[in-house]
A and B are shown apart, each in its own frame.
Chain A
Amino acid sequence: MAAALINVQKTVRKGEIIEIKTLMAHPMETGFRTGLGGQLIPRDIIHRFVCTFEGVEIFAADLFPAISANPFIAFTFMPQQSGTLTFRWFDDKGGAQVETARIEMV
């Protein structure tokens, strides 16, 4: 897996709901396409995405081949304290990509 792009505001106020936007570089090969020789190209997608905050799961997703290449997932979060967000993407080849982002309560 390649790079991820995460967009989270760095500081939040108490009670504020923020939107977290994530992009992951991945072809999301559906498993339904054929190559030049007519053979089926094996499925290779990110099938799971998990976001935790200080170790607690706040959002997760099971993804199917109907999710676009370079998957974009955006969700909301209302932090109660400063802490670290951890993002994990899991693909069919057994690979996992981990990224983190820090949020400060002001």
Chain B
Amino acid sequence: MRLDAMMFTRRDALTGILLACALRPAAATPAMMEAAIADFTKNRPVTEGRVKLDLPPLVENGNAVPLTVSVDSPMTAQDFISRIALFNEKNPQPNIALFYLTPHAGRAQVSTRIRLGDSQFITAIAETNTGALFSAKAELIVTLPACAEN
């Protein structure tokens, strides 16, 4: 590449990085996520397990990340999952979705697609009809598309 083009490139790259830092919207910090989780759990104990969080480990575009959450539950009228909440660490807001399930589901499983602004941990917390809480965590890396729109 010619020298003048290279100089443009470096200057622009630097400007880009500085602007990206300045313009970035306030992101949810892990502390904000903790607060959102506490709001859901009302400080009841959460047991890790029974919940399965399916997410691609390496995401090629953070605009639509496929996610499936499932919980080990008989889903009978006596014993079922009533709510599943999804939280993230680094988006501007910690909440992703809150699903309300019933024994009619047959199985505790929901799929959706989510937006992730950065590589981070996703947390899913499931609540049973008796108020017991179970959780799972998954880490993913969000890569940046080389040829973005702007």
Contact = CB atoms under 8 A, between A and B. Distances in A.
Most chain A beta carbons < 10 A, residue from B88, B91, B112:
B112
A27 to B, nearest CB: 12
Contact of A72 (B100, B104, B107, B113): B113
Contact of A69 (B63, B88, B97, B101): B63
- Report, as a range, how many residues of chain A touch the other chain: 20 to 34
B140 interface: no
Contacts of B65: 68
Contacts of A66: 88, 91, 93, 95-97, 114-116
B64 A64 contact: no
Contacts of A60: 99-100
B97 A63 contact: yes
Nearest to A74: B111
B104 A56 contact: yes
B92 interface: yes
B104 A75 contact: no
Given A60-B99, A63-B97, A64-B93, A17 B107 contact: yes
B128 interface: no
Given A66-B95, A67-B97, A58 B115 contact: no
B107 A57 contact: no
B14 interface: no
B73 to A, nearest CB: 12
A74 B97 contact: no
Contacts of A78: 104-107
A65 B100 CA distance: 18
B145 interface: no
Nearest to A78: B106
Given A62-B98, A69-B64, 12 more contacts: A17-B107, A32-B92, A59-B99, A59-B105, A64-B96, A65-B93, A65-B115, A66-B91, A66-B97, A68-B115, A75-B111, A76-B107
Interface of B: 25, 63-65, 88, 91-93, 95-102, 104-107, 109-116
